[in-house]
Amino acid sequence: MKELVLVRHGESEHHVQGLTGGWTNTGLTDLGIKQAELTGNRLQSFVLGRTPILYASDLERAVETAQIIGKILGITPLYDEALRELNWGIAIDMTLEETQKLELPKTKPLIDWVPFTGAESRRMLYERLAKFLNKIDEKREELVVIVSHGNAIRSCIYWWLEIPVTKQSQFDFDIDTCSITHLRINDWEEKTLSVLNSSDHLLPLRSDK
């Protein structure tokens, strides 16, 4: 891949209902729909007449976001469960308050900590994302857009920058809803983080409040 654009889904019902994220499967709020529309419009400046490949998580909030973006860009999303958020195991569909009683003691290294019974560790999440990204990287596409989730997008950034799993706990990235992160290969064949967590295209929604 010469360019990889990462988009987090818009605001989801689980955000406003106080539910866990992860594989809790809720759709977009009205605000989330508006966020996705503005994000699709902004992505037109990244595409510049090209036709990217658009991948998305198969969870509802990412599907809806990708459908809105795809309609604006004139492309059909491809869905893959490998792009899902971190699996929270038995905490799926629970309130954040309920999960406090179920959280397992932290273990070291933290990247191998499994927070709930049946959940994934961050290493497991990274390995899942890396396998997917290695597969699509072999296709040598010029521009790939991925609609996914906060922790999954962080794993994509670690993969792009080739940050070893053992070092990943030393780095973190803010990934807001419907933010855009742009990764590319520059003229010197270096892997570049050009744009991180850009959300200025959402300013019209904030001014409405």
pLDDT tens by residue, 144-161 = 999 999 999 999 999 999
Rounded alpha-carbon distances, angstroms, from residue 83 to 5, 99, 108, 185, 189: 14, 23, 26, 22, 26
DSSP secondary structure, 13-56, as one string: HHHHHTB--TT----B-HHHHHHHHHHHHHHHHHHTT---EEEE
CB neighbour list of residue 116: distance below 8 Å, 6 or more residues apart? 88, 89, 90, 91, 99, 102, 103, 104
Q: Are 145 and 55 in contact (CB under 8 A)?
A: yes
User: For helices 60-73 and 30-47, what crossing angle results, to 10°?
Assistant: 40
Q: Are 43 and 69 in contact (CB under 8 A)?
A: yes
Summarised one tens digit per residue, pLDDT across range 57-81 is 999 999 999 999 999 999 999 999 9
Report the relative pairing of strands 3-8 and 143-148 from DSSP bridges: parallel
Q: Are 28 and 9 in contact (CB under 8 A)?
A: yes
Q: Which domains does the chain have, with CATH numbers?
A: 3-207 (3.40.50.1240)
In this predicted structure, the answer to whether residue 208 has a pLDDT above a threshold of 60 is no
The answer for 192, left when phi > 0, alpha when psi is -120 to 50, beta otherwise, is beta
Average pLDDT over residues 20-33: 96
In this predicted structure, the answer to whether residue 172 has a pLDDT above a threshold of 90 is yes
Q: Please give the model's pTM, rounded to 2 decimal places.
A: 0.95
